[in-house]
Structure 1
Amino acid sequence: MDPRSEVVLRQQDYLNGQVLLINAPNDQLAKNLPTQVQASVWTWNYADHQSFLSSGIDSSFSVEFPQSNFDQVVIFVPKSKELLSYILHVVVSHLTIGQNIFLVGEKKGGVERAAKQLQPYGKTLKLDSARHCQLWQLKIEKAEQLKPLEQWLKAYTVQVNQDQLEICALPGVFSQAHLDVGTAVLLPYLSQVKSGKIADFGCGAGVISSFLAKLNPEQHIFALDVDAFALRSTEMTFQRNGLDLAQLHLQAVTGLKDAPKELDAIVSNPPFHQGIHTNYDASEELCQLAKSHLKSSGELWIVANRFLNYPPLIEQSFGQCMIKTDQQGFKVLFASAK
């Protein structure tokens, strides 16, 4: 079991009634809480959501607070400080003065910094410090009025040749405040991508998806991501730029295996972080499985850090891998399913 969950179980006597576990690790914590606790989960990670459901745990996959009443809330500290600000605001706006919020996280994950974000809402108390984690309690003393999701957006402009788009990103989404270098290296090559049915794997705020749609209004773009905040951000980016939502097919996925088949192209700046930890599983799976999701003449386009050894994985599947460019620490890799 995750050490954060173990710390919650150490202090389980504080919990009772309807308890919402927010951003909980993918384990059996909800099943191991005492009988006076009826636990459910709010997650924005689709893989975790599917796992909770298969274990019989009540789970909500959303960017918004679940439509239920709760006596208490346990927040597992997310990587993003901005995302925690949003989560705290939403939670406090749905609870009442006097109710308790618990915050748990790893020391290396910034739990002490995160605990300071509780202070504007009331009195805080550190309940436990164990397993390299901390558990904090907040008793709400200040009411909040729920702000619209749009007020949490960050927006920035990206230009490639004559095309300019405004990118909208919600808290916690990759590269929320500015365009990342890898995507910037890839964007000039999008005009070479085979048109038709295209998947943007790990769509993030929708930079790649929106430029593909702008380049050709006939494209069908499948924006794939594990993160509910990324999928909503992509939709907001399309709306902000007046792009046709009929072109956009948003799909929550656990990995590339959930992607559509018979694609003309897969384009990706693949993810390699899972929370605060590095995880290459999704991007390596992309290299190995992409061909099975492409038409016989389909294309794979990936931008990746220069140090990541993806070409051999792509070559094993496609028989070849072309390096289109190598600049600013990133390579654009291309392979054809011919």
Structure 2
Amino acid sequence: MDPRSEVLLRQARLFEGPVLLAGLPADDLLGQLPAAHGWSWHAGEQAQLDARFAGRCHYGTEPGAARFDSAVLFLPKSRELTDYLLQALAAHLAGGMLYLVGEKRAGIERASKQLAAFGKPRKLDSARHCQLWQVQVAQVPLVPQLEELAQQFSLQLDDGPLQVISLPGVFSHGRLDRGTALLLQHLDRLPAGHLLDFGCGAGVLGAVLKRRYPQSRISLLDVDAFAVASSRLTLAANGLQAEVLAGDGIHAAPLGLAAILSNPPFHQGVHTSYAATEQLLREASGHLQPGGELRLVANSFLQYKPLIEQHLGSCQTLADAEGFRIYQASKR
């Protein structure tokens, strides 16, 4: 059981009625709280919860249609995303209780101050290196419009400017990160066919690929609902058509790909995790056509080359700059 869930269950009497658990972990919390409904924006956790508690958790960027008279937000990493989620929940809780739970190292004490916009917050519990806070919603906000919270920036490319739409919580919100910037300089001579942007974030890489290779089929894949929504907005802002998929890891990707391109994720919430990237390197071959190519950017200190060569084929380093490397390998 996740320690945040354990803290909630210490106060289980507060959550006996219809409660919405926003950003809940994929543990047994829904089993312990039979009147609760979940809201997840992580496709992998949603799949696990749906397998165990069918119909009791939904995936997306909004609270959904399930009725609730209180809500718990499991603290996300991003302050901007926390603001949006708290407003989205509080807008449906006039006079009701809104709870915030999170790990101390994730900044729960700082985040608890964000509850003051709705009433007077108070700490209910502190255990398992976590804290649980509560506020009765006296100041009810308007339902936030997610797209109005987007940040837009323009990339100046050789074939003209590209508009990027970034939603709260998406990697490198409102700016182009250095790793992606380096990868964008090394997209030439890709094999013809179906191209995948793995871990698409705001859709920068996928949009650039569609513009550069207009005859190719382009797919974008991410685990996060806010990234999926951002990518769709970025494509639409540039008049581009591509397939945007929600899924957890490379197993959710199409087969028969000509190339997989990625600035792969290395965080799971507030925790550093290389599991998704290592899975990509181990299993990319199964999604590539013969001669298909993997091209990715990674921090220079990460020893990915031996793993790529073990599972895919001979690996070249196309660039090594500003703490990042571009790796290229083709399926044997």
Q: TM-score range by the shorter chain?
A: over 0.9
Deviation of 1:16 (Å) = 2.8
Distance 1:332 1:276 in 2: 26
Q: Aligned-residue CA RMSD in angstroms?
A: 1.2
Q: How far apart are the structure 1 equivalents of 2:132 and 2:194?
A: 47
Aligned mate of 2:267, from 266, 273, 281? 273
User: Gapped runs of 5+ residues in structure 2?
Assistant: none
Asked if the contact 1:194–1:299 (Cα under 8 Å) also holds between the matched residues in 2, the reply is yes
Give the aligned partner of residue 235 of structure 2: 238
Between 1:261-270 and 1:188-197, the stretch displaced more is 188-197
Distance 1:320 1:73 in 2: 51
Please give the alpha-carbon distance, in whole angstroms, between the structure 2 residues aligned to 1:102 and 1:147. 18
Pairwise CA distance, 1:164: 2.1
Question: Displacement, 1:163?
Answer: 3.5
Q: What letter is aligned with 1:31?
A: G
Aligned to 2:223: 226
The residue correspondences of 1:192-231 to structure 2 (distance < 5 A) are: 192-231=189-228
Asked if structure 2 preserves the Cα contact closer than 8 Å seen for 1:160 and 1:187, the reply is no
1:108 aligns with 2:105: yes
TM-score (norm: length of structure 2): 0.97
Decide whether the 8 Å contact of 2:30 with 2:53 is kept in 1: no
The superposition leaves residues 296-333 of structure 1 with CA deviations (integer Å, 9 ceiling, x where unpaired) of 12111010000111110110122300100100110000
Paired with 1:195 and 1:114, the residues of 2 have a C-alpha distance of 48
State the 4+ residue runs in structure 1 displaced beyond 6 angstroms. none
Q: Does 1:337 align with 2:331?
A: yes
Give aligned pairs, total: 331
Could you tell me which residue of structure 1 aligns to residue 127 of structure 2? 130
Deviations 1:126-162 (A, max 9, x none): 1011111110111000122223221110111122334
TM-score, scaled to structure 1 = 0.95
For the residue of structure 2 that corresponds to 1:235, the secondary structure is: helix
Q: Which amino acid is 2:70 matched to?
A: Q
- Kept in 1, the 8 Å contact 2:221–2:246? The answer is yes
Does 1:69 find its partner at 2:56? Answer: no
Deviation at 1:64, TM superposition (A): 1.1
5+ residue gaps, structure 1, are: none
Asked if the contact 1:22/1:75 (under 8 Å) is kept, the reply is: yes
Q: Which residue of 2 aligns with 1:312?
A: 306
CA displacement 1:184-238 (0-9 Å, x = unmatched): 0000112332232111110000010000011122121111111010011000001
Deviations 1:61-104 (A, max 9, x none): 001111122011011000000000000111111222x1001110
1:292 matched to 2:286:
yes
1:17 aligns to what SS in structure 2?
Answer: coil
Rounded to whole Å, the distance in 2 between the matches of 1:205 and 1:49 is 21
The 5 A counterparts of 1:1-338 are 1-33=1-33, 38-56=35-53, 58-96=56-94, 98-243=95-240, 245=241, 248-338=242-332
